[in-house]
Amino acid sequence: MRKVLFIVIAAIVVGLASYFAFIYYVPFSEGYRSGELIKFSRKGVMVKTWEGEISQGISGAQIFSFSVQDSEKEVIQKLKDYQGEYVKVSYIERYSTFFWLGDTKYFITDVKQEKSPHFNN
């Protein structure tokens, strides 16, 4: 009986570990988005996460919401510096997320400042 119980518990643990590893390490998609960085903040009550938004249209009707992991210190600092500027971000989209990582499935991996196509500077 102990052997069966051990096998069942081990199967559950391996299954959960595999699920979490798949969600964390296997991206659903990767890509780039450009727009005006209109919001970037650290939010949450129990677990603080970095969240932001990029406006992709002139009227602000198209909003791209994203998260940034705490380990991405350089990306976080650049987003703080580029607040209100036109930026191009690289991101990965996960199948799902965990509450301690962020609110969205989109996680920024790099950010670059760019010239806005709407204004001739």
DSSP state of 59: S
Q: 3-state secondary structure string, the chain? A: CHHHHHHHHHHHHHHHHHHHHHHHHCEEEEEEEEEEEEEEEEECCCCCEEEEEEECCCCCCCEEEEEECCCCHHHHHHHHHCCCCEEEEEEEEECCCCCCCCCCCEEEEEEEECCCCCCCC
Distance between CA atoms of residues 20 and 115, nearest Å:
39
**DSSP letter assigned to residue 83:** T
What CATH code is assigned to 27-113?
2.40.50.140
34-92 tens-digit pLDDT: 989 999 999 888 888 999 999 887 666 788 999 998 888 999 999 999 998 899 999 99
Q: What is residue 100's predicted lDDT score, i.e. its pLDDT?
A: 75
| Gap between the Cα atoms of 42 and 35, Å rounded | 20
Q: Kindly report the pTM of this predicted structure.
A: 0.77
pLDDT higher than 70, residue 3: yes
Q: 13-39: per-residue pLDDT in tens?
A: 999 999 988 888 888 889 999 989 999
Angle at 85 between CA 80 and CA 88, to 5 degrees: 90
